Structure 1
Amino acid sequence: MAKGITFLELVGKARENVPAISSAEAKEKMESNPNTLIIDVQDAKDAGACGLIPSSKNISLGMLPIRADLELPENLRDPDLADRTRPVIITCGAGGQAALGAYILKLMGFEDVSFIEGGTGAWKEAGYKVETPA
């Protein structure tokens, strides 16, 4: 049986193609440009365990390409993902899924996309606030 690619290999490929930024850099970008979209790509139950960065939107990694696809019916899309020039920062619990999410958006034509190195865990460790999802 042929060996396929592993999750860590996928993350490595994503990291080669999309910039990782620190929590401090993400916070600075959010403050300097309030239009910056923060997306947490964890499944909702996992995001609840870790918390969400304030003003972030939770879109699971599996749904992200659907929500960002401008050719799908409008009811499947997320209007926050219509502008390919809008700055987007992706996060997750530890950073691996975030790298994949950022890479997906880059492949879909987003011009200014990055992910938080270490994810929301690193954000919390840096002393920044998180919210409990509703």
Structure 2
Amino acid sequence: MKQHAKGFLGIVTDAKSRITQTTVSQVKKMLDNKEKFTFVDVREESEWEAGHLPHAIHLSKGVIERDIEKMIPDPNTKLVLYCGGGFRSALATDNIQKMGYKNVLSMDGGFSAWKEAGLPISR
């Protein structure tokens, strides 16, 4: 497992205190129940190109705050953000909530946990 810097982990912990996290199994249940939501992949372009969750849109952590209002103008849209392990998605979730998005979840474990669960991946 990748070692993250202490300062980075501190801001992630702070962000996680203000957001709602979900698990891969909870997201799988949402899919099975045909709940309407949008997957948002906040990883870097190279990570996205190597594989991503089916039907996800790509708004990397570096641009999500700038571009989300153009791509998803309704702040009530249910969103599930994910990254590689759940850290960047927590930060992005916190930021877009501050922008007025009200129904946002960060998927704990991210793409790594999804892949580990043997769930489908798109390329």
TM-score, with normalisation over the residues of structure 2?
A: 0.87
2:15 pairs with 1:24: no
Aligned-partner Cα distance in 1 for 2:38–2:31 = 8
The number of aligned residues is: 118
Instruction: Give the aligned partner of residue 65 of structure 2.
Output: 65
Q: Give the RMSD, CA atoms, in angstroms.
A: 1.6
CA shift, 1:98, in A, is 0.8
Instruction: Give the aligned partner of residue 55 of structure 2.
Output: 55
* Cα distance change, pair 109–30 in 1 and its aligned pair in 2 (3 A): farther
CA shift, 1:33, in A, is 4.7
CA shift, 1:52, in A, is 0.4
8 Å CA contact 1:40–1:92 kept in 2: the answer is: yes
CA shift, 1:10, in A, is 1.3
Q: 1:84 aligns with which of 51, 61, 75?
A: 75
CA shift, 1:114, in A, is 0.7
2:119 pairs with 1:118: no
Q: Deviations over 1:70-129 (max 9, x none)?
A: xxxxxxx22xx1111110000011111111111111111111101111101001111211
CA shift, 1:28, in A, is 2.0
Aligned-partner Cα distance in 1 for 2:94–2:31 = 20
Asked which structure has the greater CA Rg, the reply is 1
One-letter amino acid of the counterpart of residue 59, structure 1: L
One-letter amino acid of the counterpart of residue 105, structure 1: I
Instruction: Give the aligned partner of residue 73 of structure 1.
Output: none
Segments of 5+ residues of structure 1 without an aligned counterpart are 70-76
Instruction: Give the aligned partner of residue 87 of structure 2.
Output: 96
One-letter amino acid of the counterpart of residue 43, structure 1: E
Segments of 5+ residues of structure 2 without an aligned counterpart are 1-5
Identity over the aligned pairs, expressed in percent? 25
TM-score, with normalisation over the residues of structure 1?
A: 0.81
Aligned-partner Cα distance in 2 for 1:7–1:123 = 23
Misfit runs of 4+, over 6 Å: none
